[in-house]
Chains A and B, each alone.
Chain A
Amino acid sequence: MKQVNKKWTTVVAGGACVVLGTALVGFGLPEQAAAKATHAQVTITLGGWTSSPVEATLMAKELTYFEKAYPWIHVNYRPISGNYEAILKTRFVAGDAPDVIYVNNGGQSSSFMKNGDLLPLNKYIKASHFPLQDFFPGALNLFRYHGSVYGIPKDQSPLSLFYNPVMFRQAGIKSPPTTWAQLAADAHRLTDVKVHRYGLINSAQEPRWAEFVYEAGGSVMNPAMTKMTLNTKAALQGFSFFVNLYRNGSAALPGTVGAPWGGQAFGMQRAAMTLSGNWLVPFLEQTYPKTPFAVVPMPKGPKNAETLTFPVAYGITRDSTNPQASWDLIRYLTSRQGMTKWMNLGLALPSRKSLLALPYYKQHPVLKGLLADLSVSVPWTFPAGFSQLSSTTMTNETTLAIMGKETPAQALANMQQGGMAILHSGS
């Protein structure tokens, strides 16, 4: 009995010591004391997709730096694998979305902003004096809705022209194409159907032909995204140029050479050229190390030199219980230093203009073409309610035009009509 009592008192005394000790340590270090006084320990969750296990490991490392700078915030990193936005939606329905998420370009981010699934960040931006001038305006605008900012761009990837220099040399072509005419001529010259090699291989998705529309001086929608603008002469010129490359045989769909996407067809050396973003660089280095490649800016069109870019942002969800801590994380990751660390991993290109001069890009000249395209790129997006049109209908219409079952004008008219119908229904 006595012994038990003794143990009991020891435990109590020990516990008191720990409490007292913590207090003493706290008083001893003013900085930490301040932190502890104003900040209770909080845990937030970060959700996103990962391009590879490498990215997940590097992200986890980045977060340990953050936790050192903000010791009262613990970040649970929970990447979502599979169909990211579909899974994210189910998490929203369950009221259980991560505090901080990757907000993607394209149709779904518009829905998230419109439906109030993301918190407006203006209040936090103002309170912490977070300057926005350094971000590419186009990338930032993608995550603005009715005057509020819903996401801080973490990175982006523009579409540029990847080409195989060895194939070019063998075909006697001295330099990569810089104009549409050269692109068409080179693609024709590099095509050899007997060995299943094509000048250009890309899928029939909208973000592989829209850049031609912009370069012809047209657009897919007006800047306010209240109207479809595919019924213009310029749009038809750009779209027809893309379709005709396929019609005359110097371009092909990836399936023609047994590849699931253009980048892989390029890696398999079945394509001399492909239009792709920065993500193709690590893919080629890891999966097809023997395929020689170089990247140049998108060839210039009759009116403009333009291309598409795909920015990704960090946003705070409406389910977040700790928006302030979430903002601290976003501010840290998108700060100059935070983004520099992220850029040095080479997974994507910066969304800050000042980071174009990073030493990393001097050591990796292969990215030069992509970097040059950043200043002339249109962020790829659609308003809410456009997912079916942008993912399925537009691909189908383009495929029909490539197969010759519809004229380019008919295909564009159908897309125009489909888009206008959605806009009129007001969804």
Chain B
Amino acid sequence: MASIEGAGSSSLPAFPKGNAFRRRARRELGVGYMFTLPSVLLLFLFTLGPALYSLYLSFFSWSLLNHMHFVGWQNFVQLFQMPLFWISVRNSVVFALVVVPTQTVVALLLAAILNQNLPARGFFRLAFFFPAVSSSAVISIIFMWIYNKFGLLNGFLSVFGIVGPDWLGNPSFALSSIMLLNIWTTSGYFMVVFLAGLQAIPAEMYEAAAIDGAGRWRSFSRITVPLLSPSTFFIVVMGIVGTLQMFDQSFIMSQGTGGPLNSTTTIVLLIYQFIFSYGQVGYGAAATVLLFLLILLATLATNWWFKRKLDYL
């Protein structure tokens, strides 16, 4: 019997047949599981485990400090009757509805432009990608200064004689300000995804279209956009998941309050507040389960919609 260690390094038998082949296949399967075991363990310990635990917690009343007791569906019932929960759902959904299409279009345009033979193309690619690799906390703090009543943005607007508001202190502007910041930080990353997709489109397509008399706009809308749909699918799904889970920018820019007047309270920020500030772990866990369902449904809907028109070639 060869040891597991031997399986990989021993010389391969030329044509294993019948039982020997099956035994070997089974052994390789075992080795495969052994190799993935550390990752699977980590996945269970830090991702699936906590996810299942929060499902469990959503049926309990617990303040972190007292003894938890089972309350059945009570947390969900309470949550559905809570105006603050619906405010957070509205904020998160509006955020996703504005940010996902905008960042996708901006990323596509940036990619299309930077795919041309422009001078200093590398510099611009780096500049647009830079926010994606910087710390979200640092960027949020910098934007707090930009959005300050006497900050850079209002200074710029005053050149045109516009007196800008206190962007983050005004309930009508706070969420839009965070949307703008979010679009700016994520577009660069998705631009790189689109750029990779653009490289994969064969040049002959464009040549053929040019011969047939297609102009630039037509080859963009009829060749580039459809052939990019696998990338677009990835970007839209990642965008939906990311925006519905937005927490850090709201947390930092509202200093943890979700204010002014709950205008920046997203679902995840509310979950954080329930669990760590208000001592209502059950509500937080129930909201986590509902957020999971929301993201699941949104992703399935996107999947269904794209499947009908996905051009994998």
Tell me the A residues contacting B by CB distance below 8 Å: 83, 86, 89-90, 92-93, 111-112, 115, 117, 196, 253, 255-258, 260, 385, 387-388, 391-392, 395-396, 399-400
- A111-B65, A387-B279, A388-B277 known; A260 and B166 CB under 8 Å? no
A249 to chain B, nearest CB (A): 15
- Whether B260 lies near A115 (C-beta < 8 A) is no
Whether B277 pairs with A111 at a CB distance below 8 angstroms is no
CB contacts (< 8 Å) of B256 on chain A: these are 83
- Give Cα A256 to B166, complex, Å: 6
CB of A322, distance to nearest CB on chain B (Å): 22
In contact, B278 and A83 (Cβ under 8 angstroms) = no
Other-chain residue from B65, B169, B273 in contact with A115 (beta carbon distance below 8 A): B65
| Given pairs A89-B279, A388-B277, 10 additional interface contacts (CB within 8 A) | A83-B256, A89-B65, A90-B64, A115-B65, A256-B149, A256-B166, A258-B148, A387-B277, A392-B273, A395-B257
What chain B residues lie within 8 Å of A388 (beta carbons)?
273, 277-278, 280
Q: Which residues of B contact A196 (CB under 8 A)?
A: 150
> B63-74, CB under 8 A of A: which get 1 and which 0?
111100000000
The reply to whether A255 and B277 contact each other, CB–CB distance below 8 Å, is no
Q: Is the CB of A117 within 8 A of B65?
A: yes
Least Cβ distance of B259 to chain A in Å? Answer: 7
Could you tell me the distance in whole angstroms from the C-beta of A197 to the nearest C-beta in chain B?
13
Q: How far is the CB of B45 from chain A (nearest CB, A)?
A: 16
A255, B65: Cβ atoms under 8 Å? no
Q: Which of these, B63, B149, B262, contacts A255 with CB under 8 Å?
A: B149
Closest-CB distance, B143 to chain A (whole angstroms): 14
A83 vs chain B, min Cβ distance (A): 7
| B151 at interface, CB cutoff 8 A | yes
* Residues of A close to B273: CB separation below 8 A: 388, 392
Name the distance in Å between A251's Cβ and chain B's nearest Cβ. 15
B255 within 8 A of A: yes
Name B115-132 residues within 8 Å CB distance of A.
none
Contacts of B149 in A (CB 8 A): 255-258
Report the minimal beta-carbon distance from B215 to chain A, rounded to whole angstroms: 49
Q: Is the CB of B166 within 8 A of A258?
A: yes
Bound Cα distance A400, B259 (Å)? 12
Given known A-B contacts A83-B276, A255-B149, A256-B149, A92 and B261 have beta carbons under 8 A apart: no
Measured CB to CB, the closest approach of chain B to A400, in angstroms, equals: 7
Contact, CB under 8 Å: A112 / B65 = yes
- Is B168 an interface residue when CB atoms closer than 8 A count as contact? yes
Which residues from chain A contact B279 at a C-beta distance below 8 Å?
Answer: 89, 111, 385, 387
Q: How many residues of B contact A (CB 8 A)?
A: 26
The answer on a CB contact under 8 Å between A255 and B166 is yes
B: residues with CB less than 8 A from A are: 63-66, 148-151, 166, 168-170, 255-262, 273, 276-280
Given A388-B273, A391-B277, A395-B257, A256:B169 Cβ within 8 A: yes
The interface residues of chain A, by DSSP majority, are classed as: helix
User: Once the chains bind, are A399 and B261 in contact (CB under 8 Å)?
Assistant: yes
17 A-B residue pairs with CB within 8 Å:
A89-B65, A89-B279, A90-B276, A115-B66, A253-B169, A255-B170, A255-B260, A258-B150, A260-B255, A387-B277, A387-B278, A388-B280, A392-B262, A395-B257, A396-B261, A396-B262, A399-B259
What CA separation (Å) do A253 and B259 show in the bound complex? Answer: 13
Q: Are A111 and B63 in contact (CB under 8 A)?
A: yes
Q: Do A89 and B278 have beta carbons less than 8 Å apart? A: no
Closest chain B residue, CB of each to CB of A117: B65
- Inter-chain CA distance A112–B169, complex, in Å, is 33
Query: Considering the chains assembled together, what is the distance between the CA atoms of A181 and B66 in angstroms?
Result: 48
From B65, B150, B273, residue with most partner A Cβ within 10 Å: B65
Within 8 Å CB of A395, what residues of B? 257, 259
Q: Which of A89, A115, A255 contacts B168 (CB 8 A)?
A: A255
Contact (A392, B257) CB under 8 Å given A86-B276, A256-B149, A387-B279: yes
CB-nearest residue of chain B to A397: B261
Residue in A89, A391, A396, A399 whose beta carbon sits within 8 Å of that of B64 in the complex: A89
State A93–B65 Cα separation when bound (angstroms).
7
Q: A89 with B261: in contact, given A111-B63, A255-B169, A258-B166 (CB under 8 Å)?
A: no
Q: What residues on A are CB-neighbors of B66 within 8 Å?
A: 115
Set of chain B residues within 8 Å of A255, measured between Cβ atoms: 149, 166, 168-170, 260
The answer for the CA separation of A89 and B255 in the assembled complex, in Å, is 20
Q: Which residue of A lies closest to B147 (CB)?
A: A258
Shortest 4 CB-CB distances between A and B: which pairs? A255-B169, A258-B149, A86-B276, A115-B65
Residues of A within 8 A of B150 (CB): 196, 257-258
| A257 to B, closest residue via Cβ | B149
Task: Tell me the complex Cα distance, A400–B258, Å.
Answer: 15
Q: In the complex where A115-B66, A117-B65, A255-B168 touch, is A399 in contact with B260 (Cβ < 8 A)? A: yes
Q: Which residues of chain A are within 8 angstroms of B63 by Cβ–Cβ distance?
A: 111, 115
Distance, CA A255 to CA B259, complexed state (A) = 12
Bound CA span A70–B277, Å = 37
Is the Cβ of B255 less than 8 Å from the Cβ of A400?
A: no
> Closest approach, in angstroms, between the C-beta of A96 and any C-beta of chain B?
14
A111 to chain B, nearest CB (A): 6
Q: B257 near A89 (CB under 8 angstroms)? A: no
Q: How far is the CA of A258 from the CA of B166 in the complex (A)?
A: 7
Which chain A residue has the least Cβ–Cβ distance from B149? A258
In angstroms, Cα B98 to Cα A223, docked, is 49
Residues on A with C-beta less than 8 A from B276 are 83, 86, 89-90
In the bound complex, CA of A78 to CA of B257 (Å): 27
B65 / chain A contacts, CB cutoff of 8 Å:
89, 92-93, 111-112, 115, 117
Instruction: Give B140 Cβ to nearest chain A Cβ, in Å.
Output: 14
CB proximity of B65 to chain A, nearest CB, Å: 4
**Nearest chain A CB to B137 CB, angstrom units:** 12
Q: Which residues of chain A are within 8 angstroms of B278 by Cβ–Cβ distance?
A: 387-388
State A117–B67 Cα separation when bound (angstroms). 12
Q: Is the CB of B277 within 8 A of A86?
A: yes
**Residues in B neighbouring A117, C-beta threshold 8 A:** 65
Which B residues are in CB contact (< 8 Å) with A257?
Answer: 149-150
Residues of B within 8 A of A90 (CB): 64, 276
Which of chain A's residues have a CB closer than 8 A to the CB of B257?
391-392, 395
Give A256 to B167 CA distance when docked, in angstroms.
10
Complex alpha-carbon distance, A83 and B278, angstroms: 13
Closest to B272 in A: A86
Nearest Cβ in chain A — how far from B212, in angstroms? 58
Q: Which residue of A lies closest to B274 (CB)?
A: A388
